[in-house]
Structure 1
């Protein structure tokens, strides 16, 4: 339940700005109350030089409000430029990476909160406190200085985040952290196995449960499903993987039970389906983002093979983490070793193919792309020798489908060096792949 709420909050860009605005509204009402009812009691603790009279406070607050509106306009314009660049040069799927960054949302929140404070303070700065000293202008100046600091930091953030290397590294690190999180959960929980353990007789009924909506599977609340399974004495098997697209009415999970169930809505509610993919539990979505950036870089309009090579290297890091993780079909048991939930994940062969097949197609004939992929395959084998046969089979697919007609002698020589290196690591015969 908590994870589902976190996912919903992360998908709402307005949440943090509205929260900051609410805090600013409460602060403005508090300061106005102090100025109106507790002015003399509070002023004895504040130096007179920091307090202002009614006319000066009105001038300061109105000037600051106009300045904050200007900074907000510049910030929103900058954001639109960034989003346009991300969509046209990187990938439309990377827009959320910028919008969901804490600094982006906090900058919007600080500007909105500052403006709300200044406007509310002006609204309640009435004639009945004229000629008395007020505190609202002092607080307005302080939070405006704070907003200026955030504005400067936001400009630095945008300049840094516009770099494609920063974006690729962030997506890669987020994917690796998610792999580690899933892996630690498996390692630290004795109830999670890779082979099912049955302590009860085989179930008599198999109940197919369909999707309640159309979209991508964003989240599966495993804890809730295990709790419900134990309560109803059933076993649940997910038929779809996280990140898969389903249509309303599609078969998404199967319930194994010994008696009919009156209502399965409580079970299907634990599978969150949305209109877009999310990296909350979806490792493959991170791979797709990096692949998209590589494909954009290889397009004739951009023609930036070095960015594609960077993406290939980061893909090898993600695949290396996956190869050493425990990400495959996972069986969740309860305290009595009764199977309660089965989750499915893509195997390494499928992920290896989905990571490179589009890059291979659109980079066909480009020697730098071929050598970069071969080098990344070498890195995979060096990190985990257990996958050497899978990697070698993929190398055969890679070389066989590559367009070799345009390659010159030196191109083939450099490619053959990479093939020899991969063959030594995988203990295979390089003569099968050597280019003549």
Structure 2
């Protein structure tokens, strides 16, 4: 050891550095630092923490630690076996800087876990020189400490939606606390049973505190909420209703009208999908002109387009009675149009009238959750997919902790 001691870099209790060897391994420098028990220090049990002076055998183990400058640091740590009076058996000594059976120090794991917040596992593994699986387990333990313990207290306004995670119609259902921005729960699937399993984890008091749930008009989600929280208001947001209208009305009528045209007219209508779906303020000058010509030439498409804009205005009402009246008027116009797809959609809206009108009392929606779902897809792409669904769910919760403090460790 030189006069410039490295001891301050290893402020560990009960051990001190006694030797350092610097070696070159391929393209990197490795520093192997040997730690020895401090003078007068006896080993403590790794299970009960009781000190023992009855040694069974003396040994060492090599673990990874934070680097020094450009050198990768390996610590040779005392690993004595002791006869523990408290446990009445032979135990391995414990260290406050090293978890039992780990191959790296706690501060090194903290460093690796911090990198995993911003980088993919592969990038972190390449950066620190660890195996991919070792990095994943470090990050998984960190997430388990921070968000692994569910916290369902104080839930009042929720949003529920599904996100596709694999090919073949594999989905996750996500539940968002709209007041804190926290992902409360994530479950595999998108059925009634999926959401019911979330409510099953809540106590009766926690379920009773839920005032409103925003979701799409999927029957599975609706039934699960009705059974678990019959007092809660279900709110169907504008985004999902308009998206459903676009699929079931605009696209259907557009294709039906295209079949009635000659080749030139068919080509024009088939290429007009995004003109009909886009919001008018987002259209370019040339697109506005093309849309105007299209609507003037086809009455059914004009009707469908106009009613789409009128449908959006229902969500602008603040009083339930006015919103209900506007919805009834819209449905009457849809039925009077004589367009089967439009009449069918209006019939569906009438069945979901209560959930649409509930937005007046609870102006909530799933827009924030839709944005979160897009970020979830980015997390998945960054990692090139996740083979461990439990770890993926923890990553999602860790990425959206909201304004609440992390769960106690």
TM-score range, shorter chain: under 0.3
Structure ranking higher in helix proportion: 1
**Higher relative contact order structure (alpha carbons within 8 Å, sequence separation ≥ 6):** 1
TM-score, normalisation: structure 1: 0.19
Q: Which is richer in strand?
A: 2
Structure number with greater Rg is 2
